[in-house]
Amino acid sequence: MSFNPTNIHCAHAGGQQYQYHRRLPKENHLDISYHQVTLTKRYPLRISRGESAGSVNLFVSVSDHSATGLGEAAPGHLTGAETAQDCQDQISAFLKTHPQALDNPFDGWRAAHEAQVAPCAWAAVDIALWDHLARRAGQPLYRLLGLPHRAVATSVTIGILPPEVVRERVPEILERTGARYLKVKLGSPEGLEADQAMYAAVKEAARNYAVTLRVDANGGWDLAGAQSMMLWLKERGCDYVEQPLHHQADDQLPALFAGRALPIYIDESCNFAKDVARLAGCIDGANLKLMKCGGISEALRIVATARAHNLKTMIGCMGESSVAIGAGASLGALFDHIDLDSHLNLLPDPASGLSLDAGVVNVDAKRPGHGVTLTC
């Protein structure tokens, strides 16, 4: 399969340039099918906005006579669709009037975005289309995108917990995953003292492991609290802080950035490439998520935009199984930081095909597509 060149460029964490291809070959007729699966978390995840014990995710397959591509949607109120059925209904209604959206992923993403299809819903289709292209070409997805088979170790998330639970949970997670980075969820409704107690408990519980701590406040601090906590965290070895302010308080980011004690990454404030450009002057990096941006097509643009503004890049997740995690991991060489761990907290994960080696989530180096298949 041949590609025509495009003007979209991205750089991986080492600075080398990769060129992506916008004019993809038009697909033959593709059939689309849906499968809803209930996912249960090993440990419920509590963040500043609430707690989740699981979800029903939508899996989308696109197929022709030669290959089948697989994608996933993890619904949520921040990504435009509350349920898997809502995702499926939005996709089905859109494709009735825009069947050409399956012709190639870039044009499909643009049409779905203009039609206001929920990003998490279209992410499932976009991932499936890219997976189908790679499987049809007989190539791993990372290779189809011109990337090396390389990634940094993932962070593993520790949700908001009482200190006594932290002391038991952290060693178990570190032993089970071999994690080298822990992302500590703060922004507790109980206030800054509770945040400090939890961070101190994580640090103590991890003292015998070679692990670096990061913090994600999920927008749970106000400006004064963020300034205070970032100073406090810097003195205690924190690597960076993610989404310190609520995404509706982006106008306060310049003040926080000017005197920041730690690097600032945005998450909820960054959905699309335009958000990176809008906030580039008051952040150090951006955490993109396939569910927020609508899939791989826009993820490539977000990375390109971040690199153009000399920002660091991160890829995260939102309760996905190995299917969407495999799509994200296929892009691993593009990122300075990786937070692809949600499948590690599923019991069971309904898909297989990934490996975890020394804290690095790896796709199969030779298997076509993202290399992940459903097992249920």
DSSP assignment of 307-323 equals: HHTT-EEEEE-SS--HH
Q: Are 210 and 153 in contact (CB under 8 A)?
A: no
Give the 3-state secondary structure of residue 94.
Answer: helix
Structural domains of the chain, with CATH: 23-139 (3.30.390.10), 155-374 (3.20.20.120)
Residue type, 260: R
Q: Are 273 and 305 in contact (CB under 8 A)?
A: yes
pLDDT at residue 91 in the model = 98
Mean pLDDT of the region 22-39: 79
**Whole-number Cα distances in Å, 33 to 4, 72, 188, 302:** 29, 12, 40, 29
Q: If phi over 0 gives left and psi between -120 and 50 gives alpha, with beta otherwise, what is residue 243?
A: left
pLDDT at residue 5 in the model = 29
pTM of the shown model: 0.93
Segment 187-215, tens digit of pLDDT: 999 999 999 999 999 999 999 999 999 99
Alpha-carbon gap, residue 237 to 155, rounded angstroms? 16
Local confidence band at 29 (pLDDT 50, 70, 90 cut-offs): confident
pLDDT at residue 13 in the model = 41
As given in the structure block, the two tokens for residue 69 are 């591509």
DSSP assignment of 55-75 equals: EEEEEEEEE-SS-EEEEEE--
Alpha-carbon gap, residue 60 to 168, rounded angstroms? 38
**Whole-number Cα distances in Å, 87 to 131, 138, 176:** 19, 29, 33
3-class secondary structure per residue, 277-297: HHHHHHCCEEEEEHHHHCCHH
b/e code 94-106 from CB counts within 10 Å (16+ = b): bbeebeebbbbbb
Q: Are 341 and 361 in contact (CB under 8 A)?
A: yes
What are the φ/ψ torsions at residue 60 (nearest 5 degrees)?
Answer: -120, 130
Nearest Cα to 43, choosing from 168, 150, 136? 168
Segment 226-264, tens digit of pLDDT: 999 999 999 999 999 999 999 999 999 999 999 999 999
Please report, rounded to a whole number, the percentage of residues in the chain having pLDDT higher than 90.
Answer: 91
Segment 79-130, tens digit of pLDDT: 999 999 999 999 999 999 999 999 999 999 999 999 999 999 999 999 999 9
Alpha-carbon gap, residue 373 to 364, rounded angstroms? 12
Q: Which residue has the tokens 């030669």?
A: 66
Alpha-carbon gap, residue 36 to 339, rounded angstroms? 24
Burial of 324: CB neighbours in 10 Å, binned 0-12, 13-18, 19+: buried
Evaluated on CA atoms 117, 120, 121, 127, the torsion sign reads positive
